[in-house]
Amino acid sequence: MIKDQTQNAYTKSVNAVLNYVEKNYNSNLQLEQLASVGNFSPYHFHRIFKAVTGETHQDFINRKRLEKAVHKMEEGLSFTQIAYDTGFASPAHFSHAFKKFYKKTPRDFFSVYKKTGIYPVTEQKTDTAVIYTDIPYSVNQCPEYRIAYVRHIGSYDFKIGFAWKKLMGWARENNLITAEPMRISFSHNDPRLCPDNKVMYDACVVIPGDYTVKGDEPVSFRTIHSGPFISAFFEGSPFDLPGFYTALYKKIISQSTLTLFDERDFCIHNESVFDQIRGKFQNEIRIAVKDE
């Protein structure tokens, strides 16, 4: 029991660091600063972080910045602006890191993408059978949600189900399961760009705002803040989601005057738990936008 409590504490502390990097990837992130966010000593931080995530904190930061950089290429920004917007010290540093990770210069990488519509990444998942062209969406106001979550770090495979099992088991034990519990998932990586064994996925359930957190909870907590969002509906296999997202973002960028808010989008699961396990998704995709 003590071992489980210790592991839960480490996991929640590392989750706090990961969430902090998500929001501050373009800042000058130092080891001491990140250790403080997770309440670790700088001496132990890098070892604990790697034990939980499978990579060093600097590798995670670079990978997150590069993924953001590719998305900014789609917005038509210059490589110099992208370098500084994503937290690199200089365009040269950005180009070096990009080529080291993706095996191509930023210019060559984006040239291939413009011609083919596919990111030139080794072992990219291109087996989706569905081609999306015109995806309807609406703009709505999102209320604030308090969520409990269990984070999966690894491959996008059946092991994600273990995260859901742990989460929903905890929710039942605490009498937090309603007739239709609101299940949400966050995929923190673009599957077209992320190495398969580095996927970061949160299985989430909405809980009452007045729930009192106990010290040894096996789950983590966060708040999805209220605000405007783009809403689009997806139905199909999870393997079709990357193509759906690509088409949706292309339409938003080309047609909308809305400014995307730099916060992770999420899925609301409207399918049954049984259908979710079978890979038959009915999702509402929500993408935050700036309140202007």
Report residue 80: phi and psi, to 5°: -65, -45
Q: Where are the beta strands (DSSP E) in the chain?
A: 138-142, 145-154, 183-187, 199-207, 220-224, 227-236, 266-269, 281-288
Instruction: Count the Cβ atoms, other than its own, within 10 Å of residue 62.
Output: 20
Residue 235 to residue 69: CA distance in whole angstroms: 29
Strand partners, 229: 140, 288
Residue 172 to residue 222: CA distance in whole angstroms: 19
Structural domains of the chain, ranges and CATH numbers in brackets: 2-116 (1.10.10.60), 138-288 (3.20.80.10)
Question: Which of 255, 270, 264 shows the shortest CA–CA distance to 287?
Answer: 264
Model pLDDT, residue 270: 94
Model pLDDT, residue 122: 56
Residue 33 has, within 13 A of its CA and on its CB side, a CA count of 10
Model pLDDT, residue 42: 83
Residue 198 to residue 176: CA distance in whole angstroms: 31
Model pLDDT, residue 115: 87
Model pLDDT, residue 256: 66
pLDDT tens digits for the chain (292 residues)?
435 666 778 888 899 999 999 999 999 999 899 999 988 888 778 888 988 888 899 999 999 999 999 989 988 889 999 999 999 999 999 999 999 999 999 999 999 988 887 888 855 444 445 778 788 999 999 999 999 999 999 888 888 889 999 999 999 999 988 777 899 999 888 777 888 788 899 999 999 988 888 877 899 999 998 999 999 999 998 878 878 887 888 788 777 677 777 677 899 999 987 888 788 999 999 988 886 6
Model pLDDT, residue 126: 47
Model pLDDT, residue 1: 43
Model pLDDT, residue 3: 52
Taking the model in full, what pTM does it have?
0.76
Planar angle of CA 188, 191, 192, nearest 5 degrees:
135
